[in-house]
Amino acid sequence: MQQEVRVRFAPSPTGPLHIGGVRTALYNYLFARQNGGKMILRIEDTDSQRFVPGAEDYINEALAWLGIGIDEGVREGGPYGPYKQSERRDIYREHVKMLLDNGRAYIAFDTPEELEAKRAAVANFQYDARTRGQMRNSLTLPADEVKRLIDAGEKYVVRFKIEPDQQVTVNDLLRGPVTISSNVLDDKVLYKSADDLPTYHLANIVDDHLMKITHVIRGEEWLPSAPLHQLLYEAFGWADTAPRFVHLPLLLKPDGKGKLSKRDGDRLGFPVFPLEWHDPKSGEISSGYRERGYIPQAVVNFLALLGWNPGDDTEIMSMDELISKFSLDHCSKAGAKFAYEKGLWFNHKYLQELPDEELARQFRPVLEAHGVNPADFSDEYIQKAVAMVKGRANLVTDLWDQARFFFVAPTEYEAKSVKKRWSEDTPAILRAMIEQLRALPNLESKPTEDVILAWIADKGYHLGNTMNALRLAVVGECKGPHMFDIIELMGLDPVAERVEAAIANIKLPQ
Ligand code: GLU
């Protein structure tokens, strides 16, 4: 029987999830779904110094917003829980003891000051096979002394005893075998008695094993840890069932080399976080894709193509299509430029496809943010208004600029167009046009247009000036959807009021 594919996303709750982390989660999810496997969310909170309140909720909310489903996790439960590392102390303690008992780890009492002094005295000091004999640990101290120190409550760490002169090979599915010498590795700390917690390395390995993870798909920044992890699997006797590794390429700056950073986003004006983040300590607010007006499916589509391609030039793909097309063979190992403008393009495309009802639903909070009460307008009105302008919008928030005049009357009139289109005769012409409109049985766009254009021609008025003057009065500037569509939707009274307001407000130069 083929083994069930089990992958995990294992973030540390040290702040908002970075967009690169979101891509890692997405690839894990696509791989799991494609193989009919399981997606596990494990919270790696063993670093108590870096723990940030709210970060775990943020991770859950971000994944839910994007439609990245979790099969087993803190909220979902599952057969291999708990899924939060701080709740698994007993398990780690037991595993640390296994390594101490089989001689693959040892206890070290060196204080931070002692280590500091050693580093100052010895250039490039590394705690390893060459130096551990000079340090204060269970390999150099008599057993009864070790016991006495522990009983006396002396703080200690457990270190991994790395054998020198070994070739360590990591088989990365993207990168092929990567071999290094164990001499470059130091005796990593696996456990600290001070907070009775393991370090990332031990907890990560133990959990991947116990949770029966088959593939570790994570960012390239974890590649340097992989040889150590390989040695840990061997030390536990788990090498045969060790997961396969996939280290995804870095996300790079949009305009150059180097890793994408929050500063790039600030500089070029795009978010690097899925949701807005309020830093609990500094109070700083970082923008998020959701609040900027992105559609989650568009963000998913955009991220999926940063480091993977479907083998042809298809770009628009739903989550289901991504699941069926995804393959590790088409993942690249070269860094992926974070072309955020392409993200806008995707959003534009998705926005056009959203049903008007849904678009209107997403637009309501934008209206509120601009001081408009959506309840003052019918659902149908809001839907028709957004439908008319969406072709010019990339983001849901862009709809405001395009559609604001449907909700608030202009108070200013674009000066250049006033100069070009408004003259002494304009008030009388516009008032007469309103009377023409009032005489019609309804304001259906096309028949109204026919009548009004015929009237303008009959009177010998200038078509462009007349229609643009009306547009100035209603919209405030010479842009926007077809004028007769606007009139049909708004109805005569608001249009007539705006014409009067414009006549009162527009001052012609004397
Ligand atoms: N806790 C690590 C992180 O924050 C997990 C790395 C891994 O996936 O092994 O990304």
User: What does the pLDDT read at residue 2?
Assistant: 72
Identify the bridge partners of residue 39 per DSSP, sorted by sequence position.
7
User: What does the pLDDT read at residue 256?
Assistant: 79
Atom of ligand 1 nearest to the CA of 217: 8
Is-contact 5 215, C-beta < 8 A?
Answer: yes
CA of 433 to the centre of ligand 1 (A): 68
* DSSP string of 227-291, one letter each residue: HHHHHHHHHHT-GGGPPEEEEEPPEE-TTSSSB--HHHHHHHT--SBSS-EE-TTT--EE-BHHH
Cα three-residue angle 169-244-55, rounded to 5 degrees:
110
Q: What is the dihedral of CA 58, 61, 66, 71, to 10 degrees?
A: 110
For residue 181 the two structure tokens come to 């010498």
Cis peptide before 249 (omega within 30 of 0): no
The answer to whether the CB of 223 is under 6 A from ligand 1 is no
Atom 3 in ligand 1: residue holding the nearest Cα: 11
User: What does the pLDDT read at residue 54?
Assistant: 95
For residue 139 the two structure tokens come to 């390999």
The answer to whether the CB of 199 is under 6 A from ligand 1 is no
d(CA 348, CA 426): 38
> Which of 341, 358, 388, 370 minimizes the C-alpha distance to 490?
388
Burial-class residue 297 by CB neighbours within 10 Å (0-12, 13-18, 19+): buried
Identify the bridge partners of residue 248 per DSSP, sorted by sequence position.
219
CA of 454 to the centre of ligand 1 (A): 70
* DSSP string of 279-346, one letter each residue: -TTT--EE-BHHHHT--HHHHHHHHHTSSB--SSS-----HHHHHHH--GGGB-SS-EE--HHHHHHH
If you ran DSSP here, which 8-state letter would residue 42 be given? -
- Please choose from 222, 228, 245 the residue to mutate so as to test ligand 1's pocket, defined by most ligand atoms within 8 A of CB: 222
Atom of ligand 1 nearest to the CA of 225: 9
Tens-digit pLDDT profile for the chain (510 aa)? Answer: 578 999 999 999 999 999 999 999 999 999 999 999 999 999 999 988 888 999 999 999 999 999 999 999 999 999 999 999 999 999 999 999 999 999 999 999 999 999 999 999 999 999 999 999 999 999 999 999 999 999 999 999 999 999 999 999 999 999 999 999 999 999 999 999 999 999 999 999 999 999 999 999 999 999 999 999 999 999 999 999 999 999 999 999 999 789 999 999 999 999 999 999 999 999 999 999 999 999 999 999 999 999 999 999 999 999 999 999 999 999 999 999 999 999 999 999 999 999 999 999 999 999 999 999 999 999 999 999 999 999 999 999 999 999 999 999 999 999 999 999 999 999 999 999 999 999 999 999 999 999 999 999 999 999 999 999 999 999 999 999 999 999 999 999 999 999 999 999 998 765
User: What does the pLDDT read at residue 509?
Assistant: 63
The answer to whether the CB of 44 is under 6 A from ligand 1 is yes
Atom of ligand 1 nearest to the CA of 9: 8
d(CA 424, CA 413): 16
For 2, list phi and psi in degrees, rounded to 5.
Answer: -75, 145
Handedness of CA 122, 123, 128, 130 (dihedral sign): negative
d(CA 129, CA 165): 10
The answer to whether the CB of 204 is under 6 A from ligand 1 is yes
Atom of ligand 1 nearest to the CA of 44: 1
CB atoms closer than 10 angstroms to residue 291: 17
For residue 417 the two structure tokens come to 């167009």
The answer to whether the CB of 20 is under 6 A from ligand 1 is no
User: What does the pLDDT read at residue 383?
Assistant: 98
Identity at 444, one-letter amino acid code: E
In the chain, helix, strand, coil percent, each to 5?
Answer: 50, 10, 35
For residue 26 the two structure tokens come to 């997405």
Identity at 136, one-letter amino acid code: R
**Cβ contacts of 448 within 8 Å, gap of 6 or more:** 437, 440, 484, 487, 488
The answer to whether the CB of 85 is under 6 A from ligand 1 is no
| Distances, alpha carbon 476 to alpha carbons 31, 193, 417, 448, 472, in Å | 51, 69, 9, 22, 4
User: What does the pLDDT read at residue 244?
Assistant: 95
The answer to whether the CB of 10 is under 6 A from ligand 1 is yes
Question: Which one of the listed residues 262, 342, 349, 384 is annotated catalytic?
Answer: 262
User: What does the pLDDT read at residue 257?
Assistant: 84
Q: What is the dihedral of CA 114, 115, 120, 124, to 10 degrees?
A: 150
Atom 6 in ligand 1: residue holding the nearest Cα: 10
For 192, list phi and psi in degrees, rounded to 5.
Answer: -125, 125
**Cβ contacts of 481 within 8 Å, gap of 6 or more:** 388, 389
Q: What is the dihedral of CA 232, 238, 244, 248, to 10 degrees?
A: -20
User: What does the pLDDT read at residue 153?
Assistant: 96
Is-contact 130 71, C-beta < 8 A?
Answer: no
337 given a catalytic annotation: no
CB atoms closer than 10 angstroms to residue 51: 15
For residue 278 the two structure tokens come to 């309020």
CA of 153 to the centre of ligand 1 (A): 32
User: What does the pLDDT read at residue 1?
Assistant: 55
The answer to whether the CB of 7 is under 6 A from ligand 1 is no
CA of 225 to the centre of ligand 1 (A): 10
Is pTM beyond 0.85? Reply is yes
User: What does the pLDDT read at residue 48?
Assistant: 82
